[in-house]
Chain A
Amino acid sequence: MAGVDLADEVELVARSRRGDAEAFDRLVTANRERVYMVAYHIVRNSEEALDVVQETFLRAWKNLARFDGKASLGSWLSRIASNASIDLVRRRQAHPQTEFEVAPMKIDPASRTTPARSEAPGESLDLAEIRTRFQQALDTLSPEHRAVILLKEIEDLSYQEIADHLGCSIGTVMSRLFYARKNLQNQLRDLHEEL
Chain B
Amino acid sequence: MERWLIPWLMVVLFAAGAHAEDRIWAALVLGTTENPPRPAPEELEPFVKGLRTVFGYNSFYLLAAKEKKIRKGTEEWVVPNKKVFLKLQCIDRSPGCYTVNLELYFKKELLVTSQVKFARDAPLYIRGPNWGKGRLIYILEVR
Q: Which residues of A contact B64 (CB under 8 A)?
A: 47, 101-102, 117
Task: Pick from A100, A115, A122: contact of B63, CB below 8 A.
Answer: A115
Known: A101-B66, A102-B64, A113-B38. A46 touches B132 (CB 8 A): no
Asked whether B79 lies within 8 Å of A47 as measured between CB atoms, the reply is yes
- Shortest B68–chain A CB gap in Å is 9
Q: Which residues of B contact A115 (CB under 8 A)?
A: 30, 61, 63
**Mostly helix, strand, loop or mixed at chain B's interface?**
strand
Asked whether A121 lies within 8 Å of B40 as measured between CB atoms, the reply is no
**Residue A93 CB within 8 A of the other chain:** no
What 1/0 mask marks residues of chain A from 153 to 188 whose CB sits below 8 Å from any chain B CB? 000000000000000000000000000000000000
**Residue B62 CB within 8 A of the other chain:** yes
Asked whether B132 lies within 8 Å of A113 as measured between CB atoms, the reply is no
Chain A positions 82-108 with a Cβ under 8 Å from a chain B Cβ: 99-102, 107
- Shortest A77–chain B CB gap in Å is 21
**Residue B67 CB within 8 A of the other chain:** yes
Q: Which residues of B contact A111 (CB under 8 A)?
A: 39
**Residue A114 CB within 8 A of the other chain:** yes
- Shortest A21–chain B CB gap in Å is 17
- Shortest A163–chain B CB gap in Å is 29
What 1/0 mask marks residues of chain A from 36 to 78 whose CB sits below 8 Å from any chain B CB? 0000000000110010000000000000000000000000000
Asked whether B132 lies within 8 Å of A121 as measured between CB atoms, the reply is yes
Q: Which residues of A contact B81 (CB under 8 A)?
A: 46, 118
Q: Which residues of B contact A118 (CB under 8 A)?
A: 63, 81
Asked whether B80 lies within 8 Å of A46 as measured between CB atoms, the reply is yes
Q: Which residues of A contact B77 (CB under 8 A)?
A: 47, 50
Task: Pick from A100, A107, A120: contact of B67, CB below 8 A.
Answer: A100
Nearest A residue to B34 by beta-carbon distance?
A: A112
**Residue B124 CB within 8 A of the other chain:** no
Q: Which residues of B contact A (CB under 8 A)?
A: 25, 30, 32, 38-41, 43, 61-67, 77, 79-81, 131-134
